[in-house]
Amino acid sequence: MERQICVVKISGHCLDDELLLRQFADRVAASTERLVIVHGGGKEISRLQQQLNIAPRYVDGLRVTDADSLALVEMVLCGAVNKRLVRHLLAAGVDAQGLSGVDRGLVQARKLQHDSIDMAYTGEVESVRPEVICDLFELGVTPVIAPVSLGADNNFNLNADPVTSAIAQAISAHTVVFISNVAGVLVDGTVKPTINSAQAQAYIDSGVIAGGMIPKTQAALDLLSAGIPQAVITDLEGWRNNGGTTFIGTKR
């Protein structure tokens, strides 16, 4: 039977912690699925910007990437973070290869438009070449992807969440897992193990799902709408122990 495909997005809070990286790598090594890993690294980008007296700028939660910041983003995401993650995966026995959306034109992007601000080198996904990942799968390789992507005239910095979503759709993934510092959706103080799309919307409307959990939930719902069977929001401990909140399509 063909192995199912899972796309895992790991957020930046795990990526500068050696213990969490080792635990993540061990979990990847134990997986029976075909995995694609997409990573962030915004915390390290902001730290380097501040060290170089470049003030981080955001609009609607997205980084505004000027030319100097793009150079830092490429250095941090495609260099330091990506290679650190690959190193830990290799140490755990995973045949991992690091790449970005630029490599082989994996993720092609265009400038992100905003009503009032020039987003400069911040982009959005235009298309994905699924054969790049399928070629690596045929070799038994686990792709580790930085979300810097290819534009017509320059590279773009993309948020890792929409890159994760676009890749998952392009390769017909069965599951997408978003790993951050939240254990899942809390209902009455307890992580809700399973939520369908109708329940999720009702929780948003009633305020049970609020604050920063709303965009995470919306990302999961968008994946369900695009045909991905399930999406999971969890932390590393939850992924290691099959915990967190799994979003599934509304049963009819």
Contact 203, 218 (CB under 8 A): no
Q: Check whether residue 161 and residue 207 sit in a common domain.
A: no
Report CA-CA distances (Å) from 194 to 10, 200, 201: 21, 10, 13
pTM: 0.93
State which of 83-92, 161-170, 186-195 shows the largest mean pLDDT.
Answer: 83-92
Number of separate domains in the chain = 2
Amino acid at 230: Q
Residue 54 contacts residue 72 (beta carbons within 8 Å) = yes
- Is the same domain home to 16 and 52? yes
Q: Are residues 154 and 188 in the same domain?
A: no
pLDDT on residue 14? 87
Give the integer Cα–Cα distance in Å for 148 and 137.
21
* Banded pLDDT at 4 (limits 50, 70, 90): very high
Cβ atoms of residues 219 and 6 within 8 Å: no
pLDDT tens digit string along 56-73?
Answer: 888 877 889 999 999 999
Do 20 and 129 share a domain, yes or no? yes
- Which one-letter amino acid corresponds to residue 236? L
**pLDDT, averaged across the chain:** 93
Helix (H, G, I), strand (E, B), or coil: what is residue 126? Answer: strand
Domain end, chosen from 173, 198, 218, is at 173
- Residues 114 and 208 grouped into a single domain: no
For 83, half-sphere exposure in the C-beta direction (CA atoms, 13 angstrom radius) is: 6
Region 194-211 average pLDDT: 90
Of 147, 173, 199, the last residue of a domain is 173
Q: What is the pLDDT of residues 212-252, one digit of tens each?
A: 788 788 888 989 999 999 999 999 999 999 999 999 986 54
The reply to whether 167 and 198 lie within a common domain is no
* pLDDT for the residue numbered 13: 82
CATH of the domain at 10: 3.40.1160.10
Question: Of 52-56, 109-113, 201-205, 211-215, which has the strongest mean pLDDT?
Answer: 109-113
Domain around 114: 5-173
Residue 133 and residue 160 in one domain: yes
Give the burial string for 79-110 (b: 16+ CB within 10 Å, else e).
ebbbebbbebbeebebebbbbbbbbeebbbbe
Shared domain check, 136 and 71: yes
pLDDT at 1: 60
Query: Which position has the higher pLDDT, 149 or 209?
Result: 149
Q: Which has the closest alpha carbon to 7: 25, 30, 28, 29?
A: 28
142 and 35 belong to one structural domain: yes
Q: Which residue in 126, 238, 136 sits closest to 178, CA to CA?
A: 238
What pLDDT digit, counting tens, does each position of 173-183 carry?
999 999 988 89
CA 117 → CA 22, 50, 86, 172, distances in Å? 40, 22, 35, 34
Distance CA 238, CA 226 (A): 25
Q: Are residues 168 and 198 in the same domain?
A: no
